Amino acid sequence: MNTAYFDNNATSAVAPEVLEAMLPYLRDLYGNPSSMHTFGGQVASAVFQARSRIAALLGADPEEIIFTSCGSESDSTAVWSALQTQPEKRHLLTTRVEHPAILNVAQYWERQGYRVTYLDVDDKGRINQDEYLRTLTSDTALISVMFANNEVGNIYPIQRMAEAAKKNGVLFHTDAVQAVGKTPIDLSHMPVDMLSFSGHKIHAPKGIGVLYARKGVRFRPFLRGGHQERGRRAGTENVPYIVGLGMAAKLAGEHIQEDRIDMARLRDKLEQGIVARVPDCLINGDTENRLPNTTNIAFKNVEGEAILLMLDRLGICASSGSACTSGSMEPSHVLRAIGVPFNYAHGSVRLSLSRYTTEEEVDYVIEHLPGIVENLRAISPYKN
């Protein structure tokens, strides 16, 4: 059975060009880039090339790119550094719809005595900008707002929010794990101080991430030890994965416009095909300002997990808007923050595409998903 993969916001396939670029550094070019000899030096050159490619994708300087193990490490490091360099400030500002990589870190610092403000969102998942401006204070050490939401795909007004932060002398970080490679980002014109992203969302392997730290921003390393990454992240560089991420960044930069158009077209076809065939369903999030590859659809009075299980039997990979907590099924924190009605939120399914998604795969989902929902509703204990 072939796999129709619609879970690209969870992880994406490694691009063939990325794998090809990595292989020499897994076989023959195994030198340590910190070594003085020529054998290690050629490896160091490959790391620099990857750093430059990533900087080009982001509109940054190569010296502003710090390699990490993943987006979560990048997020934790950004928060850690902001607090350690400003011990006199005791306030963090974020939103209720962040990824757990930020929310759990914010809650940790809250337990350490910091004051944390979690901005609410409206029924489309949009942030109230007036509330945001009112919440900024002279005690705010860091604002962390995601560039795009991993569940519903909303793109947030990071340019405007970062400009307001700069005017108030507050550091601004954005978790851009879902945005990089899917929407243009130019940090040369966007006053973001720190930005996180992860390689496996843009067709590089799992286990490599990036933290962008703007020149001039005070920085404290989260991992201490050797001198790697200009003293900002200790540990011997993961050269094959760094090289792979560099190639993935190059491909993303070359194809971002056509990828956005193609993914949005297929996403819209998928979404419209399902909505036209399934009564009582909602599109979650802001349909006017979202990622081109993401749709989150809520089906009334049906379990999202049951839909996923039935899809899986047909080789269709998707994800749910629900999470299992303490043995009970609860809608995700994002859908709760948006205020999706419980009998819809419980049946939410996220479908996320990539540049490798085909028309045939979209047609396959449109063909089978409506029947799955109909059959599950027929046996559902909920009243339709």
Strand partners, 61: none
pLDDT at 35: 85
CATH classification at residue 320: 3.90.1150.10
Q: Residue 47: pLDDT above 70?
A: yes
Query: What sign does the dihedral 183-189-192-196 (CA atoms) show?
Result: positive
State whether 116 and 238 are in the same domain: yes
Judge whether 135 lies within some domain. yes
Counting the structural domains of the chain, the total is 2
177 contacts 130 by C-beta, under 8 angstroms: no
Distances (CA, A) of 21 to 25, 198, 251, 274: 8, 18, 12, 39
Judge whether 368 lies within some domain. yes
Q: Residue 322: pLDDT above 50?
A: no
Task: Provide the angle, in degrees to the nearest 10, between the axes of the packed helices 359-378 and 239-277.
Answer: 60
Confidence of residue 326 (pLDDT cuts 50, 70, 90): very low
pLDDT at 355: 97
Alpha-carbon dihedral 195, 200, 203, 205, rounded to 10 degrees: 120
Judge whether 99 lies within some domain. yes
State whether 263 and 230 are in the same domain: no
Q: Can you tell me whether residue 69 is helix, strand or coil?
A: coil
Least confident stretch, 233-237, 252-256, 325-329: 325-329
State whether 317 and 171 are in the same domain: no
Strand partners, 324: 329
- Closest by CA to 265, choosing from 370, 149, 359, is 359
Q: Residue 382: pLDDT above 80?
A: no
State whether 261 and 326 are in the same domain: yes
What does the pLDDT average to over 224-242? 92
How far apart are the C-alpha atoms of 110 and 128, rounded to whole Å? 23
H or E segment and range at residue 212: strand 209-213
Could you tell me where the beta strands, DSSP code E, fall in 36-184? 65-68, 91-95, 115-119, 140-144, 171-175
Angle (nearest 5°) at CA 10 between 4 and 15: 65
State whether 266 and 356 are in the same domain: yes
What does the pLDDT average to over 132-160? 97
pLDDT at 257: 96
Judge whether 33 lies within some domain. yes
Q: Residue 166: pLDDT above 80?
A: yes
How far apart are the C-alpha atoms of 285 and 295, rounded to whole Å? 9
State whether 68 and 179 are in the same domain: yes
pLDDT at 81: 98
CATH classification at residue 96: 3.40.640.10
State whether 204 and 327 are in the same domain: no
Query: Which pair of tokens denotes residue 268?
Result: 């819209």
Give the count of beta carbons closer than 10 Å to the beta carbon of residue 233. 22
pLDDT, tens digit, 9 for 90 and up, residues 93-142: 999 999 999 999 999 999 999 999 999 999 999 999 999 999 999 999 99
Domain boundary among 208, 224, 252: 252
Percent of the chain with pLDDT over 90: 89
Distances (CA, A) of 361 to 6, 174, 217, 249, 364: 9, 33, 46, 26, 5
pLDDT at 39: 85
Judge whether 195 lies within some domain. yes
What does the pLDDT average to over 221-233? 90
State whether 51 and 169 are in the same domain: yes
The mean predicted confidence, pLDDT, of the chain is 94
Q: Residue 325: pLDDT above 50?
A: no
pLDDT at 26: 96
Expressed as residue numbers, the domain containing 276 is 4-10+256-378
Domain boundary among 252, 286, 317: 252
Residues annotated as part of the active site: 324
Classify residue 19 as exposed, middle or buried by CB count within 10 Å of its CB (0-12, 13-18, 19+): middle
294 contacts 303 by C-beta, under 8 angstroms: no
How many residues are listed for the chain in this entry? Answer: 384
Least confident stretch, 34-43, 185-194, 246-255, 345-354: 34-43
Confidence of residue 331 (pLDDT cuts 50, 70, 90): confident
Domain boundary among 205, 233, 252: 252
- Closest by CA to 150, choosing from 80, 101, 105, is 101
Confidence of residue 383 (pLDDT cuts 50, 70, 90): low
Judge whether 384 lies within some domain. no
Which stretches within 228-346 are classed as H helix? 239-277, 304-313, 333-338, 342-345
pLDDT at 384: 52
pLDDT at 231: 87
Least confident stretch, 34-38, 258-262, 280-284: 34-38
- Residue corresponding to tokens 């070594």: 35
State whether 94 and 233 are in the same domain: yes
pLDDT at 139: 96
DSSP secondary structure letter of residue 156: P
Least confident stretch, 114-118, 160-164, 282-286, 339-343: 339-343
pLDDT, tens digit, 9 for 90 and up, residues 243-273: 999 999 999 999 999 999 999 999 999 999 9
Q: Residue 328: pLDDT above 50?
A: no
Residues 6+ apart with CB under 8 A from 223: 77, 233, 234, 235
State whether 248 and 294 are in the same domain: no
pLDDT at 90: 97
Confidence of residue 41 (pLDDT cuts 50, 70, 90): confident
pLDDT at 62: 98
pTM: 0.95
